[in-house]
Structure 1
Amino acid sequence: MSSNISTVEQQKITIKNSYGENLVGLLHETGSMGIVILCHGFRATKEHEIIVNLAVALEKKGISAFRFDFAGNGQVLNSEQKLDDAGVIVKPKFRGNVVVLYASKYHDIPTVVNVSGRYNLEGGLEERLGSDFLQRIKKDGFIDVTSKTGQVYFRVTEEGLMDRLNTNMHEASLQIDKGCRVLTVHGSADEVIPVEDAFEFAKLIPNHKLHVIEGSNHGYTAHQAELASVVLPFIEDGLQHVN
């Protein structure tokens, strides 16, 4: 899929969250009755290939989409701030475990697409932060994740880390309304979040559909078209039921 072709004019929109921070996004307005909110994942932005390609694919189906950046670029936000950011936008939603948390708390969206979301929130921490991350963050209050040249990729605060470790995805999954349709898509060769996390969501979420894309990595590098072909029918079906 190409993300360079767009038949709909994109409108830049800024919305202030309850923390007083500006959320900047791009609206792909088609005039459809429903709108899809595209939420990027960890260390990504609204310009990530997956987000842009899905927005364009939705346009071609005549479905409006809004892609935005969570506040706090360069640092790990706590779940409440992410949920607030999502809550000031609209519905339904895409991408990552924040959409599952939102659906479990607010019960006001009919359709959720969870693309490669993490179920086990303790997973990946040692690889990113080091085996002694708890001791270091208790000592300094934060950990900067840097490149080999010393460039800071992002900062993890003690508050953000403890929030992640204390977030119970098992309980959150069980709290999602039966009327909320949830699709989880995951790559079988995901090198960042194991595909086993997707099966955990499938066990717990009441109204759930699971699709594993064989051979796909975390970024769906060679599987962008297949990702869209799975997601779009699910969204279209959901919008028909709402309308």
Structure 2
Amino acid sequence: DTNIVLNLAVALENAKINSFRFDFSGNGESEGLFQYSNYWTEADDLHAVAQHFHKSNHVISAIVGHSKGGDIVLLYASKYRDIKTVVNLSGRYDLKAGIEERLKKDYLERIRKDGFIHVKKKSESFDFRVTEESLIDRLDTNIHKACLQIDKECRVFTIHGSSDEIVPVEVAFEFAKTISNHKLLVIEGADHGFSNHQGELSSAVVNFIRETLHQVKGTASYVSVHATIRIKHILVLYLAVSNQLNIGTTTNFHSAGSRLFFLFLYEA
């Protein structure tokens, strides 16, 4: 995920588009406790960020999300309708999928018995608990319904790898069937993280954003957001979102002109 974010940030900077990235509350460097699921809460986090920039006279014109982040930006678009360009990278269409792979068999019985499931991630240096409440929150989050509520003027671009081993490429076609104003790109041979297709991914995203730039008069601002789960990473711009919005204002902002773009990535 981090490689996707940084490569996109560089590509956007080269295209004279500023980029911004932050951690959701309870993730990475931001305050708060990590919660499994939390989809709508994180859409609200994103709205808090957008509002901060709106108050600074920036017009946020686009958001990009990877994996879980793809779902977050779609939920955002369905609820707030103030950003008219959305890029969904490898998002899930059915949030009931993928749970058994993460929590293992009989997860419902175990979570009802113990009140939680302890999850240890081999690839990352942290573990976390999945409570029954957070599990139900995920099961109750309806991406299909949200997609039907996205404004017809909102341009949605879904990019998915044909060899995605985490979220099967078939779900990308469900987005295409459900969202009225939708463009689909399947990158042949790409995995979930577009590991060997970073250039093709970055080019597709930048070109889509440029199309929007040509349609918007005046100073345009672009938002993409990155969230990781308790992984320290290099930030394009650090933002802590908790009970009080706290924006980092120096060091890691990729400045490339008058436009602002937020980069949002997350795991499924």
TM-score range, shorter chain: 0.7 to 0.9
Equivalents in 2 of 1:198, 1:124: separation in Å? 15
Q: CA deviation at 1:170?
A: 1.2
* Cα deviation digits, residues 142-201 of structure 1 (max 9, x gap): 22211569x643332222211110111111111000100000000000000000111100
- Please, which of 201, 222, 226 is the counterpart of residue 227 of structure 1? 201
- Please, which of 170, 178, 183 is the counterpart of residue 144 of structure 2? 170
Secondary structure, in 3 states, of the residue corresponding to 1:63? coil
Structure 1: 5+ residue runs without aligned partners? 1-43
Contact residue 11 and residue 203 of structure 2 kept, 8 A: no
> Residue 94 of structure 1 aligns with which residue?
64
Counterpart AA for 2:153: G
* Cα deviation digits, residues 86-139 of structure 1 (max 9, x gap): 101123211121111110111110100000000011111111101111112222
Equivalents in 1 of 2:122, 2:187: separation in Å? 33
Q: CA deviation at 1:52?
A: 1.1
> Residue 30 of structure 1 aligns with which residue?
none
Matched, 1:192 2:146: no
Secondary structure, in 3 states, of the residue corresponding to 2:4? helix
Q: CA deviation at 1:140?
A: 2.5
TM-score, normalising length from structure 2? 0.70
Matched, 1:142 2:142: no
Contact residue 40 and residue 72 of structure 2 kept, 8 A: no
The CA RMSD over aligned residues, in Å, is: 1.9
- Please, which of 15, 20, 24 is the counterpart of residue 66 of structure 1? 20
Secondary structure, in 3 states, of the residue corresponding to 1:156? strand
Equivalents in 2 of 1:77, 1:125: separation in Å? 11
Structure 2: 5+ residue runs without aligned partners? 28-33, 51-59, 218-268
Identity of aligned residues (%): 58
Matched, 1:81 2:55: no
Counterpart AA for 1:94: V
Secondary structure, in 3 states, of the residue corresponding to 1:66? coil
Equivalents in 1 of 2:197, 2:71: separation in Å? 21
- Please, which of 91, 97, 100 is the counterpart of residue 123 of structure 1? 97
Matched, 1:110 2:84: yes
Matched, 1:159 2:133: yes
Secondary structure, in 3 states, of the residue corresponding to 1:206? coil
Secondary structure, in 3 states, of the residue corresponding to 2:19? strand
Equivalents in 2 of 1:84, 1:121: separation in Å? 19
Secondary structure, in 3 states, of the residue corresponding to 2:137? helix
> Residue 201 of structure 1 aligns with which residue?
175
Counterpart AA for 1:58: L
Equivalents in 1 of 2:110, 2:131: separation in Å? 11
Higher alpha-carbon deviation: 67-76 or 175-184:
67-76
* Cα deviation digits, residues 3-29 of structure 1 (max 9, x gap): xxxxxxxxxxxxxxxxxxxxxxxxxxx
Equivalents in 1 of 2:89, 2:47: separation in Å? 19
Counterpart AA for 1:51: V
Q: CA deviation at 1:57?
A: 0.7
Equivalents in 2 of 1:172, 1:132: separation in Å? 29
Secondary structure, in 3 states, of the residue corresponding to 2:88? strand
Contact residue 55 and residue 65 of structure 1 kept, 8 A: yes
Structure 1 or 2: larger strand share? 1
Contact residue 144 and residue 152 of structure 1 kept, 8 A: no
Secondary structure, in 3 states, of the residue corresponding to 1:89? helix
Counterpart AA for 2:36: V
